[in-house]
């Protein structure tokens, strides 16, 4: 298998750390995000520190044609994408009916549609070569509904379901699909999603630890990887057995801001 990885959302947080970790293993990277300046800074650092080649593609995945343009760009450069890391995503806080619908539509485009489109475009080549790996960055939010983040939680549930389904379809090939489901992570996600003041982020994991956990799980071909043992136990053995209304109330409390708690 070759060793070129395409990483979306590569300008910050987990995406930066995934790109760094891949480069530290000698792999070339295609860096995708909106901020071309940040991507160029990362490109210079990775090439200097690890002697690899980094390609920058500035793209806004909220645009419906973004995936096709990214694919066309890598094809034009003659690049073979051996590892696809669908990391880009964002959230938003508030009651669904009070939120700006356009923001939630953009969230669905980035978190689901762009991910599906990129996977479809690059997976065909992987299957034909009988070699490749895909990592989808989801969230432990995938395992329950999320009042006050209704659309975000639903998009992550979609990602985990989609990733596992295609993993089964790929059985018998040397191509794998892994869903990484971290809990809270100390990234710009908090500010971008208007999540300041939510206690859940007080003990957030570091982006580099989450990136290494997910990347290593991808290499092993794991179906779903949760970055903490306690969270894995909760998601798999506690949440499924809590009465639905009780679980919904707990989930909402989890997302309430400090100044708004009852």
Positions marked catalytic: 152
Classify the C-alpha dihedral 138-142-148-149 as positive or negative: positive
Which residues 6+ apart lie within 8 Å of 61 measured at CB? 8, 32, 67, 88, 109, 110, 114
CA distance 156 to 166: 16
Q: Map residue 64 onto helix, strand or coil.
A: coil
177 backbone φψ class: left, alpha, beta (φ>0; ψ -120 to 50): beta
CA distance 211 to 207: 6
Strand ranges inside the chain, DSSP E: 4-8, 28-33, 54-58, 83-86, 132-137, 175-180, 224-225
Residue showing tokens 């989801």: 138
Q: Map residue 40 onto helix, strand or coil.
A: helix
**In DSSP terms, which residues pair with 56 in a beta bridge?**
31
Q: Are 156 and 111 in contact (CB under 8 A)?
A: yes
Instruction: Give me 164's structure tokens.
Output: 């596992």
Q: Are 207 and 186 in contact (CB under 8 A)?
A: yes
């Amino acid at each position: 298998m070759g060793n070129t990885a395409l990483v979306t959302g590569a300008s910050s947080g987990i995406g930066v750390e995934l790109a760094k970790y891949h480069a530290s293993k000698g792999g070339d990277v295609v860096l995708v995000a909106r901020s071309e300046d940040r991507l160029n800074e990362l490109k210079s650092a990775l090439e200097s520190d690890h002697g690899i080649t980094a390609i920058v593609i500035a793209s806004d995945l909220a645009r419906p044609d973004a995936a096709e343009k990214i694919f066309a760009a890598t094809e034009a450069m003659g690049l073979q994408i051996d590892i696809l890391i669908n990391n880009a995503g964002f959230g938003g806080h508030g009651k669904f009916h009070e939120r700006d619908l356009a923001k939630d539509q953009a969230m669905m485009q980035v978190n689901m549609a762009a991910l599906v489109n990129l996977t479809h475009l690059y997976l065909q080549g992987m299957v034909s070569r009988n070699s490749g790996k895909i990592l989808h960055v989801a969230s432990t939010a995938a395992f329950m509904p999320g009042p006050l983040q209704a659309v975000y939680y639903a998009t992550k549930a979609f990602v985990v379901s989609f990733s596992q389904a295609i993993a089964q379809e790929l059985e018998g090939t040397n191509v794998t699909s892994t869903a990484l489901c971290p809990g809270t992570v100390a990234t710009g996600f908090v500010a971008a999603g208007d999540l300041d003041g939510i206690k859940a982020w007080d003990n957030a994991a570091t982006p580099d630890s989450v990136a290494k956990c997910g990347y290593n799980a991808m290499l092993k071909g794991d179906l779903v990887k949760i970055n903490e043992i306690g969270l894995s136990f909760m998601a798999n053995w506690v949440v499924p057995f809590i009465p639905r209304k009780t679980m919904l109330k707990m989930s909402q409390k989890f997302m309430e801001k400090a100044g708004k708690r009852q």
